[in-house]
């Protein structure tokens, strides 16, 4: 009887120790991810006096535009609905700093879709991160699509 009790107590103690170790490893990996995460904030707006429906989808994208003859590479993207709000829309886009290379060019871009159709998009380059100013704020002006 004593041997069984000691055996069960040993198993429970071992289980608790293993559980504590997994938690500390998880916390360490979460801290590493947090250290490598950066944020670009800004606004999305357009000049036209057109109200957006509630179901309008706003997409903000950080992309690598370094290669001239190749499509851009998406680094991070954020998508949200208008929910009855109107421009300007504020955003905070998180990205993994490990994906950034000092000698590359990065651009912020935004689009607005209504019922699956593109209604507004950026038409100019908004350089960020590795530009001369190390920009972390991007106010994006969109133009209407016909």
Q: What is residue 6's predicted lDDT score, i.e. its pLDDT?
A: 64
22 lies in some domain:
no
* CATH number of the domain residue 60 falls in: 2.60.40.2990
Q: How many CB atoms lie within 10 A of CB 41?
A: 12
Q: What is residue 5's predicted lDDT score, i.e. its pLDDT?
A: 56
Asked if residue 74 lies in contact with residue 106, where contact means CB atoms within 8 angstroms, the answer is: no
Residues with Cβ within 8 Å of residue 8, at least 6 apart in sequence? none
Asked if residue 82 lies in contact with residue 53, where contact means CB atoms within 8 angstroms, the answer is: yes
Q: What is residue 40's predicted lDDT score, i.e. its pLDDT?
A: 97
115 lies in some domain:
yes
50 lies in some domain:
yes
100 lies in some domain:
yes
105 lies in some domain:
yes
Q: How many domains does the chain have?
A: 1
Written as six digits, the tokens of 128 are 């960020």
28 lies in some domain:
no
Chunk the chain into consecutive blocks of 10 residues (it has 146) and report each block's average pLDDT, rounded to whole numbers: 62 56 53 78 96 97 95 97 96 97 97 97 97 94 95
Q: What is residue 35's predicted lDDT score, i.e. its pLDDT?
A: 78
Q: How many CB atoms lie within 10 A of CB 64?
A: 19
86 lies in some domain:
yes
Q: What is residue 146's predicted lDDT score, i.e. its pLDDT?
A: 84
88 lies in some domain:
yes
Whole domain around residue 72: which residue ranges?
37-144
Written as six digits, the tokens of 137 are 């704020």
């Amino acid at each position: 009887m004593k041997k069984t009790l000691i055996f069960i107590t040993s198993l429970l103690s071992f289980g608790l120790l293993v559980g504590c170790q997994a938690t500390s490893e998880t916390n360490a990996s979460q801290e590493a991810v947090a250290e490598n995460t950066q944020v670009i904030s800004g606004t999305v707006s357009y000049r036209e006096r057109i109200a957006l429906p509630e179901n309008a989808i706003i997409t903000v994208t950080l992309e690598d535009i370094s290669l001239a003859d190749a499509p851009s590479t998406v680094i991070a993207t954020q998508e949200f609905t208008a929910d009855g709000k109107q421009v300007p829309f504020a955003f905070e886009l998180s990205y993994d700093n490990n994906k950034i290379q000092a000698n590359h060019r990065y651009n912020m871009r935004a689009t607005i879709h209504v019922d699956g159709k593109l209604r507004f998009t950026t038409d100019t380059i908004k350089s960020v991160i590795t530009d001369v100013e190390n920009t972390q704020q991007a106010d994006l002006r969109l133009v209407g699509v016909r």
